[in-house]
Structure 1
Amino acid sequence: MLVAAAVCPCPPLLVPEVAAGAAPELEPARDACADALGVLAAARPDRLVVVGPDGRDASYPEGSGGSFRGFGVDLDVRLGRGGNGDTTARLPASLAVAAWLLDRTGWADAPMEGLGVAELITVERCMHIGREVAGSAGRVALLVMGDASACRTLKAPGYLDDRAAGFDARVARALDDADIEALRALDTGLARELQASGRAPWQILAGAAEGAGLDGSLLYDDAPYGVGYLVAAWS
Protein backbone atom coordinates (compact mmCIF):
# COMPACT_ATOMS: atom_id res chain seq x y z
CA MET A 1 0.00 0.00 0.00
CA LEU A 2 1.15 3.52 -0.75
CA VAL A 3 1.95 5.34 2.50
CA ALA A 4 3.72 8.46 1.17
CA ALA A 5 4.79 10.18 -2.01
CA ALA A 6 7.09 13.03 -2.94
CA VAL A 7 6.77 14.89 -6.24
CA CYS A 8 9.86 16.72 -7.50
CA PRO A 9 10.98 18.36 -10.75
CA CYS A 10 13.85 16.79 -12.65
CA PRO A 11 15.97 19.45 -14.38
CA PRO A 12 19.67 18.58 -14.17
CA LEU A 13 20.16 22.23 -13.09
CA LEU A 14 18.93 21.14 -9.66
CA VAL A 15 22.41 19.66 -9.26
CA PRO A 16 24.67 22.61 -8.37
CA GLU A 17 27.65 21.12 -10.21
CA VAL A 18 25.61 21.17 -13.42
CA ALA A 19 24.33 24.71 -12.91
CA ALA A 20 26.78 27.51 -13.61
CA GLY A 21 27.10 29.45 -10.38
CA ALA A 22 25.00 26.74 -8.65
CA ALA A 23 21.79 28.47 -9.89
CA PRO A 24 20.89 30.09 -6.56
CA GLU A 25 17.40 30.80 -7.89
CA LEU A 26 16.80 27.04 -7.64
CA GLU A 27 17.83 26.79 -3.99
CA PRO A 28 14.18 27.10 -2.80
CA ALA A 29 13.28 24.19 -5.09
CA ARG A 30 16.19 22.12 -3.74
CA ASP A 31 15.10 22.84 -0.18
CA ALA A 32 11.49 21.93 -0.97
CA CYS A 33 12.64 18.62 -2.49
CA ALA A 34 14.59 17.87 0.69
CA ASP A 35 11.47 18.56 2.75
CA ALA A 36 9.38 16.27 0.51
CA LEU A 37 11.94 13.46 0.86
CA GLY A 38 11.79 13.96 4.60
CA VAL A 39 8.09 13.09 4.44
CA LEU A 40 9.00 9.83 2.67
CA ALA A 41 11.55 8.92 5.32
CA ALA A 42 9.12 9.72 8.14
CA ALA A 43 6.62 7.24 6.65
CA ARG A 44 9.13 4.39 7.25
CA PRO A 45 8.37 2.53 4.02
CA ASP A 46 9.38 -1.03 3.28
CA ARG A 47 10.16 -0.07 -0.31
CA LEU A 48 10.83 3.10 -2.30
CA VAL A 49 9.99 3.30 -5.99
CA VAL A 50 11.40 6.19 -8.00
CA VAL A 51 9.47 7.06 -11.18
CA GLY A 52 10.58 9.46 -13.89
CA PRO A 53 10.33 10.25 -17.59
CA ASP A 54 12.53 8.19 -19.86
CA GLY A 55 12.94 7.49 -23.55
CA ARG A 56 11.42 4.05 -22.97
CA ASP A 57 9.60 2.04 -20.34
CA ALA A 58 12.32 0.44 -18.24
CA SER A 59 13.15 -0.66 -14.71
CA TYR A 60 16.40 0.12 -12.91
CA PRO A 61 17.47 -1.97 -9.90
CA GLU A 62 19.02 -0.45 -6.83
CA GLY A 63 22.66 0.34 -7.45
CA SER A 64 22.09 1.39 -11.07
CA GLY A 65 24.45 4.15 -12.07
CA GLY A 66 23.96 7.44 -13.83
CA SER A 67 26.11 10.35 -14.87
CA PHE A 68 25.93 14.08 -15.58
CA ARG A 69 28.87 13.93 -17.95
CA GLY A 70 26.49 14.63 -20.83
CA PHE A 71 25.97 18.02 -19.22
CA GLY A 72 29.68 18.74 -19.03
CA VAL A 73 30.16 17.64 -15.42
CA ASP A 74 32.34 14.77 -14.20
CA LEU A 75 29.78 13.55 -11.68
CA ASP A 76 28.45 10.02 -11.27
CA VAL A 77 25.53 8.93 -9.10
CA ARG A 78 23.99 5.68 -7.93
CA LEU A 79 20.37 4.89 -7.21
CA GLY A 80 20.54 3.95 -3.56
CA ARG A 81 23.38 2.33 -1.69
CA GLY A 82 22.61 -1.32 -2.36
CA GLY A 83 22.88 -3.31 -5.54
CA ASN A 84 26.06 -4.32 -7.30
CA GLY A 85 27.70 -0.93 -7.38
CA ASP A 86 27.57 -0.65 -11.18
CA THR A 87 28.06 3.08 -11.88
CA THR A 88 27.95 2.96 -15.68
CA ALA A 89 25.70 5.64 -17.13
CA ARG A 90 22.43 3.76 -17.26
CA LEU A 91 19.89 5.96 -15.51
CA PRO A 92 17.91 8.49 -17.55
CA ALA A 93 18.44 12.11 -16.53
CA SER A 94 15.27 12.21 -14.43
CA LEU A 95 16.35 9.26 -12.28
CA ALA A 96 19.92 10.55 -12.08
CA VAL A 97 18.54 13.76 -10.56
CA ALA A 98 16.47 11.63 -8.17
CA ALA A 99 19.57 9.66 -7.20
CA TRP A 100 21.38 12.93 -6.47
CA LEU A 101 18.47 14.18 -4.34
CA LEU A 102 18.36 10.93 -2.37
CA ASP A 103 22.10 11.00 -1.77
CA ARG A 104 21.95 14.69 -0.78
CA THR A 105 19.39 13.91 1.91
CA GLY A 106 21.24 10.81 3.09
CA TRP A 107 18.43 8.38 2.20
CA ALA A 108 19.16 4.90 3.52
CA ASP A 109 15.78 3.90 4.89
CA ALA A 110 14.45 1.25 2.48
CA PRO A 111 15.35 -0.80 -0.59
CA MET A 112 14.46 0.96 -3.82
CA GLU A 113 14.13 0.60 -7.56
CA GLY A 114 13.68 3.00 -10.46
CA LEU A 115 11.01 3.03 -13.15
CA GLY A 116 11.42 4.98 -16.36
CA VAL A 117 8.28 5.75 -18.35
CA ALA A 118 8.06 6.81 -21.98
CA GLU A 119 6.22 9.98 -22.99
CA LEU A 120 3.54 8.20 -25.03
CA ILE A 121 2.46 5.74 -22.34
CA THR A 122 -1.33 5.75 -21.96
CA VAL A 123 -3.29 6.93 -18.96
CA GLU A 124 -4.66 3.42 -18.46
CA ARG A 125 -1.20 1.90 -18.46
CA CYS A 126 0.03 4.53 -15.97
CA MET A 127 -2.83 3.77 -13.61
CA HIS A 128 -2.16 0.03 -13.90
CA ILE A 129 1.54 0.47 -13.14
CA GLY A 130 0.66 2.62 -10.15
CA ARG A 131 -1.65 -0.03 -8.72
CA GLU A 132 1.03 -2.69 -9.18
CA VAL A 133 3.62 -0.51 -7.46
CA ALA A 134 1.29 0.13 -4.51
CA GLY A 135 0.71 -3.60 -4.10
CA SER A 136 4.37 -4.56 -4.26
CA ALA A 137 5.03 -4.22 -0.50
CA GLY A 138 3.23 -3.59 2.75
CA ARG A 139 4.41 0.02 2.96
CA VAL A 140 5.41 1.64 -0.33
CA ALA A 141 6.71 5.17 -0.89
CA LEU A 142 6.96 6.89 -4.28
CA LEU A 143 9.41 9.52 -5.45
CA VAL A 144 7.80 10.99 -8.56
CA MET A 145 10.04 13.01 -10.87
CA GLY A 146 8.81 15.25 -13.66
CA ASP A 147 8.43 18.83 -14.84
CA ALA A 148 5.28 20.77 -15.65
CA SER A 149 4.98 22.75 -18.90
CA ALA A 150 8.05 24.11 -20.68
CA CYS A 151 6.12 26.95 -22.29
CA ARG A 152 5.59 29.58 -19.60
CA THR A 153 7.65 32.44 -21.10
CA LEU A 154 9.06 33.62 -24.42
CA LYS A 155 12.50 32.27 -23.43
CA ALA A 156 11.18 28.90 -22.29
CA PRO A 157 12.39 25.78 -24.14
CA GLY A 158 8.96 25.43 -25.76
CA TYR A 159 8.41 29.19 -26.25
CA LEU A 160 5.31 30.87 -24.81
CA ASP A 161 2.01 29.01 -24.92
CA ASP A 162 -0.99 30.72 -23.35
CA ARG A 163 -2.33 27.34 -22.20
CA ALA A 164 0.73 26.53 -20.10
CA ALA A 165 -0.05 28.55 -16.97
CA GLY A 166 -3.54 27.10 -16.72
CA PHE A 167 -2.29 23.55 -17.20
CA ASP A 168 0.35 23.99 -14.52
CA ALA A 169 -2.16 25.54 -12.13
CA ARG A 170 -4.46 22.52 -12.52
CA VAL A 171 -1.59 20.16 -11.75
CA ALA A 172 -0.53 22.26 -8.75
CA ARG A 173 -4.06 22.16 -7.32
CA ALA A 174 -4.29 18.41 -7.87
CA LEU A 175 -0.98 17.82 -6.09
CA ASP A 176 -1.94 20.13 -3.23
CA ASP A 177 -5.29 18.37 -2.80
CA ALA A 178 -4.03 14.83 -3.51
CA ASP A 179 -6.74 14.80 -6.18
CA ILE A 180 -6.37 11.46 -7.94
CA GLU A 181 -9.18 12.09 -10.42
CA ALA A 182 -7.71 15.43 -11.51
CA LEU A 183 -4.36 13.78 -12.21
CA ARG A 184 -6.04 10.93 -14.06
CA ALA A 185 -7.93 13.46 -16.21
CA LEU A 186 -4.83 15.32 -17.44
CA ASP A 187 -4.92 15.65 -21.23
CA THR A 188 -2.09 13.57 -22.66
CA GLY A 189 -2.07 15.45 -25.97
CA LEU A 190 -1.95 18.86 -24.30
CA ALA A 191 0.76 17.69 -21.90
CA ARG A 192 2.85 16.56 -24.87
CA GLU A 193 2.33 19.87 -26.70
CA LEU A 194 3.37 21.78 -23.58
CA GLN A 195 6.37 19.46 -23.03
CA ALA A 196 5.17 18.54 -19.54
CA SER A 197 7.39 15.54 -18.80
CA GLY A 198 5.67 14.84 -15.47
CA ARG A 199 2.33 13.80 -16.96
CA ALA A 200 2.92 10.04 -16.98
CA PRO A 201 4.73 9.87 -13.59
CA TRP A 202 1.91 11.92 -11.99
CA GLN A 203 -0.66 9.51 -13.40
CA ILE A 204 1.30 6.56 -12.02
CA LEU A 205 1.07 8.31 -8.66
CA ALA A 206 -2.69 8.59 -9.15
CA GLY A 207 -2.97 4.85 -9.71
CA ALA A 208 -0.79 4.03 -6.73
CA ALA A 209 -2.76 6.34 -4.43
CA GLU A 210 -6.17 4.82 -5.11
CA GLY A 211 -7.74 3.89 -1.79
CA ALA A 212 -4.74 5.11 0.21
CA GLY A 213 -6.50 8.16 1.67
CA LEU A 214 -3.41 10.37 1.53
CA ASP A 215 -3.38 14.13 2.12
CA GLY A 216 -1.40 16.45 -0.13
CA SER A 217 0.69 19.55 0.39
CA LEU A 218 2.21 21.74 -2.33
CA LEU A 219 5.66 22.84 -1.20
CA TYR A 220 6.94 24.74 -4.24
CA ASP A 221 5.42 26.19 -7.43
CA ASP A 222 7.47 28.39 -9.76
CA ALA A 223 8.82 28.62 -13.30
CA PRO A 224 12.25 30.26 -12.99
CA TYR A 225 13.31 29.41 -16.55
CA GLY A 226 9.86 29.33 -18.12
CA VAL A 227 9.48 25.68 -17.07
CA GLY A 228 6.99 24.79 -14.35
CA TYR A 229 8.64 23.17 -11.36
CA LEU A 230 6.36 21.68 -8.71
CA VAL A 231 7.22 20.02 -5.41
CA ALA A 232 4.62 18.26 -3.30
CA ALA A 233 4.36 15.71 -0.50
CA TRP A 234 1.53 13.23 0.10
CA SER A 235 1.20 11.38 3.38
Structure 2
Amino acid sequence: MLVAAAVCPCPPLLVPQVAGGAAAEMDDARAACYDAVAVLAAARADRLLVVGPAEPPDRGAFPAGTRGSLRGFGVDVEVGLGKGEPGERELPPSLTVGAWLLERTGWRNAPVEGLGVGEPLEPERCAEVGRELAAGPERLALLVMGDGSACRSLKAPGHHDERAAAFDAAAARALGGANTAALAALDAGLARTLRAAGRSGWQVLAGAAEGAGLAGRLLYDAAPYGVGYFVASWS
Protein backbone atom coordinates (compact mmCIF):
# COMPACT_ATOMS: atom_id res chain seq x y z
CA MET A 1 0.00 0.00 0.00
CA LEU A 2 1.13 3.53 -0.68
CA VAL A 3 1.88 5.44 2.51
CA ALA A 4 3.61 8.58 1.17
CA ALA A 5 4.80 10.25 -2.01
CA ALA A 6 6.93 13.19 -3.05
CA VAL A 7 6.73 14.90 -6.43
CA CYS A 8 9.82 16.78 -7.61
CA PRO A 9 11.04 18.31 -10.87
CA CYS A 10 13.86 16.51 -12.64
CA PRO A 11 16.03 19.06 -14.50
CA PRO A 12 19.76 18.39 -14.07
CA LEU A 13 19.94 22.12 -13.23
CA LEU A 14 18.60 21.12 -9.82
CA VAL A 15 22.13 19.87 -9.10
CA PRO A 16 24.31 22.91 -8.24
CA GLN A 17 27.36 21.57 -10.08
CA VAL A 18 25.35 21.46 -13.31
CA ALA A 19 23.79 24.90 -12.81
CA GLY A 20 27.13 26.51 -11.98
CA GLY A 21 26.79 30.24 -11.49
CA ALA A 22 23.00 30.02 -11.85
CA ALA A 23 22.63 27.50 -9.00
CA ALA A 24 20.98 30.07 -6.72
CA GLU A 25 18.07 30.38 -9.15
CA MET A 26 16.97 26.87 -8.11
CA ASP A 27 17.54 27.32 -4.36
CA ASP A 28 13.83 27.49 -3.53
CA ALA A 29 12.97 24.46 -5.66
CA ARG A 30 15.87 22.51 -4.17
CA ALA A 31 14.83 23.37 -0.61
CA ALA A 32 11.25 22.30 -1.32
CA CYS A 33 12.52 18.97 -2.69
CA TYR A 34 14.50 18.39 0.50
CA ASP A 35 11.35 19.04 2.56
CA ALA A 36 9.33 16.62 0.42
CA VAL A 37 11.95 13.89 0.82
CA ALA A 38 11.93 14.46 4.58
CA VAL A 39 8.21 13.64 4.61
CA LEU A 40 9.00 10.39 2.78
CA ALA A 41 11.58 9.52 5.42
CA ALA A 42 9.08 10.16 8.21
CA ALA A 43 6.62 7.69 6.64
CA ARG A 44 8.93 4.76 7.48
CA ALA A 45 8.10 2.86 4.31
CA ASP A 46 9.34 -0.65 3.61
CA ARG A 47 10.30 0.26 0.06
CA LEU A 48 10.97 3.44 -1.91
CA LEU A 49 10.51 3.57 -5.65
CA VAL A 50 11.87 6.49 -7.68
CA VAL A 51 9.72 7.02 -10.79
CA GLY A 52 10.70 9.28 -13.67
CA PRO A 53 10.49 9.82 -17.42
CA ALA A 54 12.86 7.80 -19.59
CA GLU A 55 13.56 7.30 -23.26
CA PRO A 56 14.33 3.89 -24.81
CA PRO A 57 16.28 1.85 -23.80
CA ASP A 58 16.13 3.36 -20.30
CA ARG A 59 12.55 2.40 -19.50
CA GLY A 60 11.55 -0.27 -17.02
CA ALA A 61 12.81 -1.34 -13.63
CA PHE A 62 16.17 -0.48 -12.08
CA PRO A 63 17.27 -2.52 -9.06
CA ALA A 64 18.80 -1.15 -5.91
CA GLY A 65 22.42 -0.15 -6.43
CA THR A 66 22.01 0.97 -10.05
CA ARG A 67 24.30 3.92 -10.79
CA GLY A 68 23.76 7.05 -12.82
CA SER A 69 25.94 10.01 -13.70
CA LEU A 70 25.64 13.59 -14.92
CA ARG A 71 28.82 13.52 -16.97
CA GLY A 72 26.72 14.10 -20.06
CA PHE A 73 25.91 17.51 -18.58
CA GLY A 74 29.55 18.40 -18.08
CA VAL A 75 30.06 17.52 -14.41
CA ASP A 76 31.66 14.55 -12.68
CA VAL A 77 28.71 13.60 -10.48
CA GLU A 78 27.83 9.94 -9.96
CA VAL A 79 25.10 8.61 -7.67
CA GLY A 80 23.28 5.34 -7.05
CA LEU A 81 19.97 3.94 -5.87
CA GLY A 82 20.93 3.03 -2.34
CA LYS A 83 22.85 -0.13 -1.55
CA GLY A 84 23.23 -2.99 -3.99
CA GLU A 85 25.24 -4.21 -6.92
CA PRO A 86 25.44 -1.77 -9.87
CA GLY A 87 23.18 -2.90 -12.69
CA GLU A 88 24.12 -3.37 -16.32
CA ARG A 89 22.24 -0.22 -17.31
CA GLU A 90 22.80 3.33 -16.10
CA LEU A 91 19.97 5.38 -14.65
CA PRO A 92 18.28 7.85 -17.00
CA PRO A 93 18.73 11.54 -16.10
CA SER A 94 15.42 11.83 -14.24
CA LEU A 95 16.22 8.95 -11.90
CA THR A 96 19.80 10.16 -11.54
CA VAL A 97 18.50 13.51 -10.24
CA GLY A 98 16.17 11.61 -7.91
CA ALA A 99 19.07 9.50 -6.61
CA TRP A 100 21.07 12.70 -6.12
CA LEU A 101 18.26 14.17 -4.00
CA LEU A 102 18.19 11.05 -1.83
CA GLU A 103 21.97 11.08 -1.34
CA ARG A 104 21.96 14.82 -0.64
CA THR A 105 19.31 14.38 2.07
CA GLY A 106 21.07 11.36 3.59
CA TRP A 107 18.39 8.76 2.80
CA ARG A 108 18.94 5.77 5.10
CA ASN A 109 15.43 4.43 5.36
CA ALA A 110 13.80 1.94 3.02
CA PRO A 111 15.58 0.13 0.17
CA VAL A 112 15.46 2.13 -3.07
CA GLU A 113 14.60 0.99 -6.59
CA GLY A 114 13.80 2.87 -9.80
CA LEU A 115 11.23 2.82 -12.59
CA GLY A 116 11.66 4.65 -15.88
CA VAL A 117 8.34 5.34 -17.60
CA GLY A 118 7.79 6.41 -21.18
CA GLU A 119 6.10 9.66 -22.10
CA PRO A 120 3.79 7.85 -24.59
CA LEU A 121 2.41 5.52 -21.89
CA GLU A 122 -1.37 5.90 -22.01
CA PRO A 123 -3.16 7.19 -18.90
CA GLU A 124 -5.03 3.94 -18.23
CA ARG A 125 -1.82 1.93 -18.41
CA CYS A 126 -0.13 4.43 -16.10
CA ALA A 127 -2.92 3.91 -13.58
CA GLU A 128 -2.62 0.13 -13.91
CA VAL A 129 1.10 0.30 -13.24
CA GLY A 130 0.46 2.39 -10.14
CA ARG A 131 -2.18 -0.01 -8.85
CA GLU A 132 0.15 -2.95 -9.37
CA LEU A 133 2.93 -1.20 -7.45
CA ALA A 134 0.68 -0.49 -4.48
CA ALA A 135 -1.14 -3.82 -4.44
CA GLY A 136 1.17 -5.63 -2.01
CA PRO A 137 1.12 -5.50 1.81
CA GLU A 138 4.45 -3.65 2.08
CA ARG A 139 4.47 0.03 2.93
CA LEU A 140 5.42 1.74 -0.33
CA ALA A 141 6.68 5.29 -0.83
CA LEU A 142 7.11 6.96 -4.23
CA LEU A 143 9.49 9.71 -5.29
CA VAL A 144 8.02 10.89 -8.58
CA MET A 145 10.34 12.98 -10.74
CA GLY A 146 8.93 15.01 -13.63
CA ASP A 147 8.40 18.46 -15.08
CA GLY A 148 5.35 20.34 -16.26
CA SER A 149 5.00 22.03 -19.63
CA ALA A 150 8.08 23.37 -21.40
CA CYS A 151 6.14 26.12 -23.17
CA ARG A 152 5.56 28.83 -20.59
CA SER A 153 7.63 31.57 -22.27
CA LEU A 154 9.17 32.55 -25.59
CA LYS A 155 12.56 31.36 -24.33
CA ALA A 156 11.23 28.02 -23.06
CA PRO A 157 12.54 24.82 -24.68
CA GLY A 158 9.20 24.34 -26.46
CA HIS A 159 8.64 28.06 -27.08
CA HIS A 160 5.44 29.72 -25.93
CA ASP A 161 2.07 27.99 -26.04
CA GLU A 162 -0.92 29.83 -24.58
CA ARG A 163 -2.32 26.51 -23.27
CA ALA A 164 0.72 25.79 -21.10
CA ALA A 165 -0.20 27.99 -18.12
CA ALA A 166 -3.65 26.42 -17.76
CA PHE A 167 -2.25 22.90 -18.09
CA ASP A 168 0.34 23.57 -15.41
CA ALA A 169 -2.21 25.22 -13.13
CA ALA A 170 -4.44 22.13 -13.35
CA ALA A 171 -1.47 19.85 -12.64
CA ALA A 172 -0.40 21.98 -9.67
CA ARG A 173 -3.91 21.92 -8.17
CA ALA A 174 -4.14 18.16 -8.56
CA LEU A 175 -0.69 17.55 -7.08
CA GLY A 176 -1.28 19.94 -4.21
CA GLY A 177 -4.63 18.40 -3.41
CA ALA A 178 -3.59 14.76 -3.88
CA ASN A 179 -6.47 14.64 -6.35
CA THR A 180 -6.01 11.32 -8.13
CA ALA A 181 -9.03 11.79 -10.40
CA ALA A 182 -7.77 15.16 -11.62
CA LEU A 183 -4.30 13.75 -12.27
CA ALA A 184 -5.74 10.82 -14.18
CA ALA A 185 -7.76 13.25 -16.30
CA LEU A 186 -4.72 15.19 -17.56
CA ASP A 187 -4.75 15.05 -21.35
CA ALA A 188 -1.87 12.89 -22.57
CA GLY A 189 -1.96 14.36 -26.07
CA LEU A 190 -1.83 17.93 -24.81
CA ALA A 191 0.92 16.99 -22.36
CA ARG A 192 2.93 15.59 -25.25
CA THR A 193 2.43 18.76 -27.28
CA LEU A 194 3.47 20.91 -24.32
CA ARG A 195 6.44 18.63 -23.59
CA ALA A 196 5.25 17.94 -20.05
CA ALA A 197 7.60 15.11 -19.10
CA GLY A 198 5.98 14.48 -15.72
CA ARG A 199 2.53 13.47 -16.96
CA SER A 200 3.07 9.70 -17.09
CA GLY A 201 4.75 9.54 -13.67
CA TRP A 202 2.03 11.65 -12.09
CA GLN A 203 -0.59 9.30 -13.48
CA VAL A 204 1.33 6.28 -12.13
CA LEU A 205 1.14 8.03 -8.76
CA ALA A 206 -2.58 8.59 -9.23
CA GLY A 207 -3.13 4.87 -9.76
CA ALA A 208 -0.98 3.92 -6.77
CA ALA A 209 -2.78 6.38 -4.48
CA GLU A 210 -6.35 5.34 -5.32
CA GLY A 211 -8.14 4.72 -2.04
CA ALA A 212 -5.04 5.46 0.06
CA GLY A 213 -6.58 8.55 1.65
CA LEU A 214 -3.42 10.63 1.40
CA ALA A 215 -3.46 14.41 1.91
CA GLY A 216 -1.39 16.61 -0.39
CA ARG A 217 0.57 19.83 0.01
CA LEU A 218 2.06 21.93 -2.79
CA LEU A 219 5.50 23.17 -1.71
CA TYR A 220 6.68 24.84 -4.92
CA ASP A 221 5.12 26.02 -8.17
CA ALA A 222 7.13 28.14 -10.60
CA ALA A 223 8.49 28.25 -14.13
CA PRO A 224 11.93 29.89 -13.84
CA TYR A 225 13.08 28.79 -17.30
CA GLY A 226 9.69 28.63 -18.99
CA VAL A 227 9.24 25.06 -17.69
CA GLY A 228 6.69 24.21 -15.02
CA TYR A 229 8.38 22.88 -11.88
CA PHE A 230 6.28 21.54 -9.02
CA VAL A 231 7.12 20.05 -5.64
CA ALA A 232 4.38 18.31 -3.70
CA SER A 233 4.20 16.09 -0.66
CA TRP A 234 1.54 13.40 -0.07
CA SER A 235 1.17 11.69 3.28
Give your verdict on TM over 0.5.
yes
| 1:189-211 per-position Cα deviation (integer Å, ceiling 9, x unaligned) | 00000000000000000000001
Q: Distance in 2 between matches of 1:176 and 1:83?
A: 34
Aligned length: 233
Q: How does 1:134-213 map to 2 (within 5 A)?
A: 134-213=134-213
Instruction: Tell me which amino acid in the other structure corresponds to 1:83.
Output: G
| 1:38-75 per-position Cα deviation (integer Å, ceiling 9, x unaligned) | 11001100010110000143110010000101001111
Q: CA deviation at 1:219?
A: 0.1
1:129 match: 129
Q: CA deviation at 1:89?
A: 6.5
Instruction: Tell me which amino acid in the other structure corresponds to 2:52.
Output: G
| 1:143-181 per-position Cα deviation (integer Å, ceiling 9, x unaligned) | 000000000000000000000000000000001111100
2:24 match: 24
Unaligned 5+ residue runs, structure 2?
A: none
Q: Does 1:58 align with 2:60?
A: yes
1:93 match: 93
Distance 1:87 1:25, change over 3 A: farther
Q: Distance in 2 between matches of 1:201 and 1:232?
A: 13
Q: CA deviation at 1:88?
A: 7.2
- The DSSP-based 3-state class of the residue aligned with 1:18 is helix
Deviates more, 1:52-61 or 1:190-199: 52-61
- The DSSP-based 3-state class of the residue aligned with 2:16 is coil
Q: Contact between 1:66 and 1:88, CA under 8 Å: does it hold in 2?
A: no
2:84 match: 83
- If the length of structure 1 is used for normalisation, what is the TM-score? 0.97
- The DSSP-based 3-state class of the residue aligned with 2:142 is strand
Q: Distance in 1 between matches of 2:16 and 2:220?
A: 18
Instruction: Tell me which amino acid in the other structure corresponds to 1:50.
Output: V
Q: Distance in 2 between matches of 1:175 and 1:76?
A: 30
Q: Distance in 2 between matches of 1:25 and 1:88?
A: 35
Q: Distance in 1 between matches of 2:180 and 2:35?
A: 22
Instruction: Tell me which amino acid in the other structure corresponds to 2:173.
Output: R
1:73 to 68, 75, 82: 75
Q: CA RMSD in A?
A: 1.1
Instruction: Tell me which amino acid in the other structure corresponds to 1:68.
Output: L
- Give every structure 1 segment of 4 or more consecutive aligned residues whose post-TM-superposition deviation is greater than 6 Å: none
Q: CA deviation at 1:136?
A: 3.5
Q: How does 1:217-228 map to 2 (within 5 A)?
A: 217-228=217-228
Q: Does 1:116 align with 2:105?
A: no
Percent identity between the two aligned chains: 66
- The DSSP-based 3-state class of the residue aligned with 2:153 is coil
- The DSSP-based 3-state class of the residue aligned with 1:49 is strand
Q: Contact between 1:53 and 1:119, CA under 8 Å: does it hold in 2?
A: yes
Q: CA deviation at 1:138?
A: 2.1
- The DSSP-based 3-state class of the residue aligned with 2:231 is strand
Q: Contact between 2:63 and 2:87, CA under 8 Å: does it hold in 1?
A: no
Q: Contact between 2:123 and 2:203, CA under 8 Å: does it hold in 1?
A: yes
